[in-house]
Structure 1
Amino acid sequence: MIIKSQKSWYTSENDVTPEKLYLNRRSFIAGTASLAVTASVGMGAGNAAFAKNDRILAPLPFRDSGYGTAEPRTPEEAVTSYNNFYEFGTGKSDPAENAWRLQPKPWSVKVEGHVSRPGIYDFEDLIDMAALEERIYRLRCVEAWSMVIPWIGVPLSSIIKKVGPTSGAKYVAFETLADKKQMPGVKSFFNVLDWPYREGLRMDEAMNDLTFIAVGLYGKELPNQNGAPLRLVVPWKYGFKSIKSIVRMNFVEGQPKTSWKKSAPSEYGFYSNVNPEVDHPRWSQKQERRIGEFGRRETMMFNGYGEEVAHLYADMDLRKNY
């Protein structure tokens, strides 16, 4: 029997983190392999019959990248049950409850724009599974909470080099899958955003060695609610820049329109760098709450990655370019 109750570690913007972590109310059921379905650019799989929670997360081989932290890792059950993924609902537990509908295999990504090798790339052609590495990065969200997560994946730069950007590529724009059959939030009458979800990076940001395409965490494949089968991780920016379930990469000359900037331009800028000196209009960014901990800690500029990325913004006004 499932007992529904307020999650004991759920945090709103202004609450203190409670003592206990909320465990995912529905654990994945082992023993049934995911159904094979045909999809084009990650879409079209929603017609397949798919029992709830029957996806088995396979272990992933990886090497230690050397990108780590002495900070304790956030418990896995917290990382996989406390998520922002509005395509599956706006509540923090909604993605874990609803993302069983997502069919992450097979998966393709359309690459277009200013590249010498455009096309539709199968997941296996885009991601070099033999080169997977683990990186332990902090993820900082605008709502003043944060996590420390052991991601598994490859540098975004390795994918960019594979598709061959030309001189016209000044930015790379990303899009998330938007399939009403798989994503109940997309077909909601009260849509929060204009789907599909869109994000973007300047090319020098995308090529920075910290920028990462994750395909797993905690030694296993990415759970659906965490952005399976591949998501962007940009550790010095707020979490909403780390777009999930990517189906399109477009190399463009002009700054791409991004979902949250389009939805609320006074609150969410294109750059979205972690900056404790620039408050969100509805709350302070000076402190953050690590999920699973009591109290708050001081927010670090660029989420603590200033040594690696501050030079990217040396001549910019980071209050104006928030």
Structure 2
Amino acid sequence: MLIRTRHRSECSHSEVTPREVYARRREFLRTSIGLGAGLALGGLGMSAPAAAALRGYELEFEPGDFSTDESKTSLDEITSYNNFFEMGPGKSDPKTYADQLKTDPWTITVDGLCDNPGEYAVEDFINPWSLEERIYRMRCVEGWSMVIPWIGFELNRIIEKAKPGAGARYVAFESIYDPDNLRGQRRRPRASGGLEWPYTEGLRLDEAMHPLTILSVGLYEEVLPNQNGAPIRLVVPWKYGFKSIKSIQHIRFVEEEPPTLWNQAQPDEYGFYSNVNPDVDHPRWSQRTERRIGEFRRRRTEMFNGYGDEVASLYDGMDLREHF
């Protein structure tokens, strides 16, 4: 059983976010879920019935368990410097070509070794009383990092709803495949670094069940922007960023370790686990330091991205140099 505990670095929400910012959030929510629900929630791919179901609720996003008290990366930097190879290989490509991602309508297939498979809309997983803000450190394998205030819910909610069977040991994820609209998916595998679409990822079931693992539907005071993985994406903060698959359309429970996009393309560089580990270098660069976007100095990389107190026990007895 996983017992939720407060992270040692947590502080009160008044220390993280000023009162006036919360006031803006409340006003944003009042607008998006109330009078403007159809427009604002359209970015989530939400149907009119879903918007109506949420209308009238006044949600207040407070920093949830495990949130860090570090300074947050600006919204502009989060939304203009990132990886989303379906839109192109450049860091600015996701923002430039964000309109190529079509999020309405959107369904998520949940199947595999589970008792309750089905086709779900994003809103089926959103409970008005349980969205929360998680301020997470995020570390990219390329050596840069951010602190992002995600809005979402724990992945274990979907897992509990699906009721995986006794043989389910892993959770496999698959992203959108839409080469007619997504320019990056029109490139041949050789031209795109050997990437075989759609984007696939996976977690061990206990990793997926951990309360740090969330599905995000927003960040800061906004619904999730297209360039950051709208309408719903995975966030696993103790792993390198490429594990946090964007624009999820398929979740499957499986017995064997599922294939993942980067591990298939370059297995000597991208392992299945991909835990942030300063002692395991990428073949082409060191992972001992990182540069926080918005800063000029480099800082020491922390094991498990600083979440070791919460997740190190998941890997007891494993050689993390071998299982990188």
Same fold (TM over 0.5): yes
| 1:110 partner amino acid | T
* Matching residue's letter, 1:92: K
| Unaligned segments of structure 1, at least 5 residues | 1-30, 40-58
Alignment match of 1:207 (pick from 198, 206, 209): 209
- Contact 2:109-2:119 at 8 Å conserved across structures: yes
Question: How much does 1:62 deviate?
Answer: 2.9
Match of 2:321 in 1: 319
2:183 aligned partner, one-letter code: P
Which whole-Å deviations, capped at 9, do the CAs of 1:103-149 have from their partners, x for residues lacking one? 22321101110111111111111332431000000110000000000
**Structure 1 residue aligned with 2:165:** 166
Deviations 1:267-298 (A, max 9, x none): 00000000000000000000000000011000
Partner of 1:16: none
- Aligned partners of 1:99 and 1:183 also within 8 Å: no
CA contact (8 A) 1:274 1:300 kept: yes
Structure 2 distance, partners of 1:172, 1:285, is 27
Instruction: State which of 215, 230, 248 in structure 1 corresponds to 2:232.
Output: 230
Aligned to 2:192: 191
Alignment of 1:82-97 (within 5 A): 82-97=81-96
Corresponding letter in the other structure for 2:172: A
Q: Equivalent residues in 2 for 1:264-279 (5 A)? A: 264-279=266-281
Partner SS for 1:194:
coil
The amino acid across from 1:320 in the alignment is: E
User: What displacement does 1:200 show?
Assistant: 0.2
Alpha-carbon distance in 2 for matches of 1:277, 1:82: 26
TM-score between both structures, scaled by the size of structure 1: 0.81
Alignment correspondent of 2:154: 155
Give 2:53's aligned residue: none
The corresponding residue for 1:242 is 244
CA RMSD of aligned residues (A): 2.1
CA contact (8 A) 1:60 1:220 kept: no
Length-normalised TM-score, structure 2: 0.80
SS at match of 1:173: strand
Q: Which residue number in structure 1 is paired with residue 66 of structure 2?
A: 67
Residue 256 of structure 1 aligns with which residue?
Answer: 258
Alignment of 1:261-300 (within 5 A): 261-300=263-302
Write the distance in 2 (CA, Å) between the matches of 1:131 and 1:239. 25
Paired residue for 2:179? 180
Query: What is the aligned-residue identity percentage?
Result: 58
Provide the residue aligned with 1:216 in structure 2: 218
Q: Deviations over 1:24-76 (max 9, x none)?
A: xxxxxxx995898xx9xxxxxxxxxxxxxxxxxxx975343133222110111
What residue ranges of structure 2 are gaps of 5+ in the alignment? 1-35, 46-57
- Are the equivalent residues in 2 in contact too, given 1:73–1:147 (CA < 8 A)? yes
Task: State the alpha-carbon separation in 2 of the partners of residues 315 and 33 from structure 1.
Answer: 50
Q: Distance in 2 between matches of 1:161 and 1:168?
A: 15
**Which structure shows the bigger proportion of residues in helix conformation?**
2
- After the TM superposition, which of the residue ranges 277-286 and 93-102 deviates more from structure 2? 93-102
**SS in structure 2 at match of 1:204:** helix
- The one-letter code matched in structure 1 to 2:125 is L
